[in-house]
Structure 1
Amino acid sequence: MWADGDHRRLPGDAGQLPHSRPRHRGARTMIPLLLLLLPAAHGIVELGTKPALTQDHLEGVTTATTFVLEQPRCIFGNFSNAVIWLVVALDKDASAFNNSAEPGTPETAFQSFPDTVSAYMTLNATLASYPCPKPAGDITVLRVGSETSCATDVSRPTCNGPLPGPGPYRVKFLALEGSVPVAETAWSAPITLRTAKPLNTISTAGSGHSAGMIAITAILSILLAILLAALVAMLFSCGSDSCGSSTFSKPESVSVQRYNTHHVYDQAAARL
């Protein structure tokens, strides 16, 4: 006999041990989900590199609606399966961007920037588009804001459309594996675009000439050009036959030679 409270199991006893619990049916289905979430659990890798404007000597590195960046070469080498996106935000809204935001959704659509969207995602590319090292002699840049055809096309939320104002803007590159962010660069320094000056704000005082004098000089220059063109046209026309010049030829003199026919005589007079 066992003492009271002894819960040793007898052979053939089909009962469960005390304090044992049946395994939940959903436990097996949770394991694959946990495996998928492991990359996110490790956190996103923060790369120290900052995107920057190109240092190549190009025209229009910044314009009124675009700017040119260096490509992210030799940065995401450990993420060969990732898709690299460019995130564009206003300087004041960059810190509020959520890396879990998915590209191609209303949350990150270019067409709503910056009214209801604080940052948009564009220029997606794989690592193969950014080979490392950089090929010698290649111009490896990205022009942000170069697509005008899709600027108002809501069916293309990742459009690389013209920027809506002078900014300033900040950008960063974000690598996604599926929809999971795995690596990112730091935000760039603020980028300010060019603005056109109104004509009435351009001062002519420093040049020593008034606006009226400049206008008169321009008109006189145009009139002088017209006179020169007319003179050249007249010289060309006078060099042709239509200018009134003609060639006078001396009338040919016609000489008529008189012949005396010695073998012809008046036979009637000879008989007399």
Structure 2
Amino acid sequence: MQSSRTAMWGLAILVLFGVSTVHGQISAINCSPTLAASNLLGRITSSTATFDLCCVSQNPQVLPTDNVVLLVGSSSVINSLNPSTININNPPLYSNFSQSGLYAPVNSLASSLCTPNNLAGTRIGSNILCIQDSSLPFCNGPIPSLGPLSVIALVYRNGTLVAVTNSSAAIDLKNPKDYHSIDTSVKNRSAGMIVITVILPILSALLLVILTTMMFMKCCCCRAFTPSRCQQES
């Protein structure tokens, strides 16, 4: 009886030790994906967002040959995510976002995330083909707008998860204005704008008439009064 208890305690210790060892291999990178500089045009649209990931690729814990996988999802899903459940060989698909609230749009080498040619950042949501082909893994499809969203980066080395960043701050995509809501009535137009809008087409038509008349008169008068000169000019 005593020996069986000893064996059970030994097994429990080994299991605990194994779990702590596995989790110990996953480092926490003290950085978060952040939105690109505010002076970047279109850094946030109704379906895309551009992030600065230099703090990931330049971190001493990350090798240039490591794979960095970005996960995009609703803030509640990202904040409660267990990164060890994400398999780089079977990433969350874009087509399953409505069910899982999560997808993996990017799988890139760390060395390519912050280069002189990529100073603007990494744009998420730029590939509309993901809507047509639901089977594509790591498909950078338009970001579904379902409330506040967050991004987190996972670092894999030879297919094994080795490091995780903090999640980004929650972001809200822009809401495009419904064209039905645009007021086209005259009441919101100034008197000057109405006058200009009316006069410009009239002046353009008048100028066209004048030019056409001048060309016609020159041709007719020339042939009527000085035909020999017209033949020389033509």
- Letter of the aligned partner of 2:51 in structure 1? L
Task: From 114, 124, 128, give the equivalent of 1:144.
Answer: 124
Q: Is the 8 A contact 2:147 2:172 kept in 1?
A: yes
Q: Is the 8 A contact 1:84 1:176 kept in 2?
A: yes
Structure 1 residue 122, shift from structure 2 partner: 2.3
Residue number in structure 2 paired with 1:11: none
Could you tell me the percent identity over the aligned residues? Answer: 23
- In the alignment, is residue 108 of structure 1 matched against residue 76 of structure 2? no
- In the alignment, is residue 156 of structure 1 matched against residue 136 of structure 2? yes
Rounded Cα–Cα distance in structure 1 between residues aligned with 2:181 and 2:214: 52
Residue number in structure 2 paired with 1:191: 171
- State how 1:110-259 maps to structure 2 within 5 Å: 110-113=94-97, 115-130=98-113, 135=116, 139-165=119-145, 167-198=147-178, 211-214=185-188, 221-242=196-217, 246-247=221-222, 248=225
Q: Does the residue aligned with 2:154 lie in a helix, a strand or coil?
A: strand
TM-score using structure 2 length: 0.73
Q: CA RMSD in A?
A: 3.2
- Unaligned segments of structure 1, at least 5 residues: 1-36, 205-209, 250-272
Structure 1 residue 223, shift from structure 2 partner: 3.8
Residue number in structure 2 paired with 1:61: 43
Aligned length: 203
Pick the structure with greater CA Rg.
1
Rounded Cα–Cα distance in structure 2 between residues aligned with 1:60 and 1:95: 26
TM-score using structure 1 length: 0.63
- Which structure carries more helix by proportion? 2
Classify 1:156/1:43 alpha carbon distance in 2 versus 1 (closer, same or farther; 3 Å). same
Structure 1 residue 161, shift from structure 2 partner: 0.3
Structure 1 residue 150, shift from structure 2 partner: 1.9
Q: Is the 8 A contact 2:113 2:121 kept in 1?
A: no
Deviations 1:15-41 (A, max 9, x none): xxxxxxxxxxxxxxxxxxxxxx99735
Q: Is the 8 A contact 1:52 1:189 kept in 2?
A: yes
Rounded Cα–Cα distance in structure 1 between residues aligned with 2:181 and 2:159: 50
